[in-house]
Structure 1
Amino acid sequence: MIKASTDPTTTLRWLGQIAQHVEAGRPLPYHLSLFLLQGLSPFLETAGEISLDQAFGTRRHGGISAANAVKNAQRDDMLRHLRNIHPEWSALAPSVASRRMRQAFERYEAGRWKREKSATSAPSSEPATTFWRVLNAGMRMPQEARLRQILEREIQEAV
């Protein structure tokens, strides 16, 4: 039997589509039926020794959950956008931009964040807006090396 999707984002999207079909009382399309069967089979065949997370590929052994993968993707998009719109960082190489962004984040977290973390809305100016959103959502700011990889990915995708 072919393995169900191992991409957590795809898995969540397909599970959402299954829920919509069931809620509306519509039959499942073949690809969603097959996906559901392939995800449930390992769980049922092992009497639960393989978790549903593992069977559907939403959590690999030692990996992150699908929810955290989605959060990280959102955070990464916000950080790439911040770099593009911030005049101090937009023209810099990813290695330099990541260092300066990380330093700015550390200053924000040590200073303004302490005053702004109980606010109900983000500050109006960047980079504080993005940093507040990252921290307020309970996400972690990547270290400099990981941030550089995130920013480099943007360059590779644009080519």
Structure 2
Amino acid sequence: MTPPISRSHPGLRAVFELAEFLDHGQKLPEQSRSLLAQALQECIADGFDTSLFTALGITQWGGVPAVKKIGLLRRDRVLRRLRSRIPEWASLSPNAAAKEMSASFRRYETTRWPRERHSAKGPAAQPNSIWWGLLRSELGVPGEKRLAQILKAEIQDGFEFPKGPATVAGTGEHPENTGTNIR
């Protein structure tokens, strides 16, 4: 099994900084720009037999493909923020909040999701807008035990988007504006 990639891995940092540049127009640091340019040149030179993530040295992360791991990290940030924005959940312990959030997700998944799954735009109100986006992204919400672990963890990855919440909308908008799916 490939060892986990550190969150400070230069290739992974370059990808996150590129995402911030594309999402928010933030300056792309020279080291990341150079690393991305070199990796793209490698991909082009071999006719794209090498993926960009492989060229950046990010092939697997703890057995999970890097692209999926990035999606899971974003999902986890969204879940932490959602808890903090719903007053009933914010005041609860992580375990109790996980229990309530899981119940809310299951209710949405069994009652509204079957009717809304093919909608171009999800519900406007939270938490249903977040549940809709997570289901559309096929990331879903983890079980109660894992959710409690996520809620206990502080955001320490150094990849927080400083201009606001993590972008979860396919359009580049923030979740409170759209309720669309995680990218």
TM more than 0.5: yes
Specify every segment of 5 or more residues in structure 2 that has no aligned partner in the other structure, as ranges: 1-5, 20-29, 43-48, 158-183
- Whether the aligned pair in 2 keeps the contact of 1:80 and 1:151 (CA below 8 Å) is yes
Aligned pairs for 1:3-152 within 5 A: 6=9, 9-13=12-16, 16=18, 36=38, 53=53, 56-60=56-60, 63-152=63-152
- The range that moved more, 119-128 or 50-59, is 50-59
Deviation at 1:141, TM superposition (A): 1.1
- The range that moved more, 146-155 or 98-107, is 146-155
- TM (norm. structure 2) is 0.58
Q: Go from structure 1 to structure 2 and tell me whether the alpha carbon gap of 1:13 and 1:97 turns closer, same or farther (over 3 Å shift).
A: closer
Deviation at 1:92, TM superposition (A): 0.3
Question: Helix, strand or coil: the match of 1:88?
Answer: helix
Deviations 1:46-87 (A, max 9, x none): xx9x98755644222752222212211221121111111112
Structure 1 or 2: larger helix share? 1
Residue 44 of structure 1: aligned partner = none
- Which amino acid in 1 is paired with 2:12? T
Q: Go from structure 1 to structure 2 and tell me whether the alpha carbon gap of 1:8 and 1:152 turns closer, same or farther (over 3 Å shift).
A: farther
Q: Go from structure 1 to structure 2 and tell me whether the alpha carbon gap of 1:61 and 1:116 turns closer, same or farther (over 3 Å shift).
A: closer
Alpha-carbon separation, structure 1, partners of 2:91 and 2:155: 12
| Percent of residue pairs identical | 34
Larger Rg over CA atoms: 1
After superposition, the CA RMSD in angstroms is 3.5
Q: Go from structure 1 to structure 2 and tell me whether the alpha carbon gap of 1:117 and 1:51 turns closer, same or farther (over 3 Å shift).
A: closer
Alpha-carbon separation, structure 2, partners of 1:54 and 1:104: 38
Specify every segment of 5 or more residues in structure 1 that has no aligned partner in the other structure, as ranges: 18-28, 41-47
Q: Go from structure 1 to structure 2 and tell me whether the alpha carbon gap of 1:120 and 1:8 turns closer, same or farther (over 3 Å shift).
A: farther
